[in-house]
C-alpha cells in the first residue's frame, strides 16, 4: 500500500504546479511536466517525474532545461529474474534514485536552420553519466524535408556498489553520431531515414553479472563478466508514416538493421496503428519483431582455465542469438476537449494521459507483462 501511495503521489505532482505557473509562461516559451510509471511481471518498476522548459531569451535564441527524477526498484536476486543489481542484501528489493539535468541553448540561423548545444549529467548511487551534445538541423526543398546531424560525447563512470557500501568506479567513453532525413512524400505520407554510429571504449561489462565457468577439474566457479574494452556499433533505420484521413487513423511501419564489431547483427520490424475512437481518445495497436545473432565470444557454457583469466566471457542475454516478440496496445486521452469547453482549462490544450500494456516474449524462455502510464502537461 505504501508503494501504491508513493506512485500515485509522484504521478500527481505536476497538477499541483500547473495553475500557478501557466500565466508566467504565456507567450514566452513552452513548459512541460511528465510523470511516468513502468512495471513488469518481474517486479521491476520505475517511477519518473520530469520537467522541461524552452524559453526564448533573445531573438531566435532559446534556453533549454530538462530535469528528471527516477525511483527504480529491482527485485531480489533470483535465478528467475536474472536482474543485474548489487549482491548486497540480495534477498531484499534494491531501490535507488536517479537524477538527470540537461541544459542547452538553441540558436536559429536564418529562416531554415537551427543549431543547439546541450550539456547532460545523470547521477545515481552506482552510475554517473556526463555528455555534451551538438545538433544541427536544416530545412530543405521548401521545408518539405529536414536534415538533422547530431554529435555526442559521453564520459561515464560505471559504479559497483560493494558489500561494505562503498562504490568502485570504472570509466566508459562514447563518441556518437546520428544523421537523419525526414522527407514529405505527399500530403499524408512521411519518410524518415537515419544512420547511427557509436564508438565505445574502456569498461563495457556489467559489474554485477557473474559468469559460471568450469575449471580444469570440472568444478563450477563464479567469476566476473569480461567484455572487450572497445566496441563499434552502427544502425540504419527507415520509417514510413501514412495518415488515413477517411478513418481518422495513421499507420506507421519501420525497419532497423544493426551491426557491430562483436559480430552482433540484428533486424527489427515494427508496425503501429493509431486510431481515433472518439474526438479526444486515441487507440494504438503495436507489434514488433526482433531477431539477432550472438557475439563472437558468447558461449552456452564456458569451460577451461583461460575463462577464469583473461578470455572474454559474458552472462548478458542481449549477446546471445535470440528472437523476440512485442505486442500491445495503448489508450491516450487528450485534454484539448476540456480546453475547448472552458477558458479555465486552456492550459491543458496540449496535455494528455496515456496507458500502455504490452506482452514481451522471446525464445530464451523469458516473458513479461509490461504496464506503463504517463501524464503529460505542456504549457
Give, in order, the Cα–Cα distances in Å from 274 to each of 7, 224, 327. 28, 45, 14
Below-70 pLDDT ranges, the chain: 1-29, 77-85, 87-91
**pLDDT above 90 as % of the chain:** 70
The pLDDT of residue 78 is: 52
- For residue range 183-221, what is the model confidence (pLDDT) as tens digits? 999 999 999 999 999 999 999 999 999 999 998 888 999
pLDDT attached to residue 26:
38
**Contact indicator for 326, 311 with CB cutoff of 8 Å:** no
What pLDDT, on a 0 to 100 scale, did the predictor assign at position 228?
A: 97
Q: Which pLDDT score, from 0 to 100, does residue 316 have?
A: 93
Q: What pLDDT shows up at residue 19?
A: 37
At 22-58, the pLDDT tens digits run 333 434 568 888 998 999 877 889 999 999 999 988 8
265-272: long-range pairs with CB below 8 Å, 24+: 265/292, 265/293, 266/290, 266/291, 266/292, 266/293, 267/291, 267/292
Rounded Cα distance, 67 and 101, in Å: 5
Q: What is the model's pLDDT at position 3? A: 44
Task: Map out the domains of the chain as residue ranges.
Answer: 1-99+335-379
pLDDT at 30: 80
Amino acid at each position: 500500500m505504501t508503494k501504491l501511495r508513493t506512485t500515485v503521489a509522484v504521478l500527481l505532482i505536476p497538477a499541483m504546479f500547473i495553475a500557478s505557473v501557466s500565466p508566467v509562461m504565456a507567450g514566452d516559451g513552452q513548459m512541460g511536466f511528465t510523470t511516468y510509471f513502468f512495471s513488469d511481471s518481474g517486479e521491476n518498476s520505475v517511477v519518473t517525474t520530469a520537467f522541461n522548459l524552452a524559453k526564448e531569451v533573445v531573438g531566435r535564441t532559446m534556453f533549454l532545461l530538462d530535469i528528471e527524477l527516477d525511483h527504480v526498484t529491482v527485485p531480489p536476486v533470483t535465478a528467475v529474474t536474472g536482474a543485474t543489481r548489487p549482491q548486497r542484501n540480495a534477498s531484499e528489493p534494491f531501490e535507488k534514485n536517479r537524477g538527470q539535468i540537461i541544459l542547452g541553448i538553441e540558436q536559429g540561423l536564418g529562416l531554415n536552420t537551427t543549431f543547439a548545444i546541450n550539456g547532460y549529467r545523470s547521477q545515481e548511487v552506482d552510475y554517473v553519466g556526463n555528455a555534451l551534445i551538438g545538433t544541427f538541423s536544416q530545412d530543405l526543398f521548401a521545408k518539405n524535408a529536414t536534415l538533422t546531424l547530431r554529435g555526442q560525447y559521453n564520459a561515464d563512470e560505471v559504479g559497483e556498489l560493494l558489500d561494505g557500501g562503498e562504490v568502485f568506479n570504472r570509466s566508459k567513453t562514447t563518441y556518437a553520431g546520428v544523421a537523419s532525413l525526414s522527407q514529405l512524400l505527399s500530403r499524408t505520407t512521411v519518410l524518415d531515414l537515419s544512420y547511427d554510429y557509436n564508438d565505445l571504449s574502456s569498461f563495457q561489462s556489467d559489474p554485477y553479472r557473474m559468469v559460471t565457468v568450469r575449471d580444469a577439474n570440472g568444478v563450477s566457479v563464479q567469476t566476473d563478466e569480461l567484455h572487450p574494452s572497445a566496441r563499434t556499433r552502427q544502425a540504419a533505420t527507415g520509417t514510413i508514416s501514412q495518415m488515413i484521413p477517411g478513418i481518422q487513423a495513421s499507420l506507421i511501419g519501420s525497419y532497423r538493421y544493426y551491426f557491430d564489431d562483436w559480430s552482433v547483427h540484428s533486424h527489427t520490424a515494427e508496425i503501429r496503428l493509431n486510431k481515433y475512437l472518439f474526438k479526444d481518445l486515441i487507440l494504438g495497436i503495436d507489434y514488433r519483431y526482433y531477431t539477432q545473432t550472438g557475439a563472437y565470444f558468447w558461449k552456452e557454457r564456458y569451460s577451461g582455465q583461460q575463462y577464469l583469466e583473461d578470455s572474454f566471457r559474458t552472462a548478458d542475454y542481449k549477446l546471445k542469438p535470440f528472437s523476440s516478440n512485442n505486442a500491445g496496445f495503448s489508450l491516450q486521452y487528450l485534454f484539448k476537449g476540456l480546453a475547448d469547453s472552458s477558458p479555465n482549462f486552456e492550459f491543458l490544450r496540449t496535455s494528455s494521459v496515456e496507458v500502455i500494456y504490452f506482452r514481451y516474449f522471446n525464445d530464451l524462455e523469458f516473458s513479461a507483462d509490461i504496464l506503463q502510464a504517463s501524464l503529460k502537461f505542456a504549457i
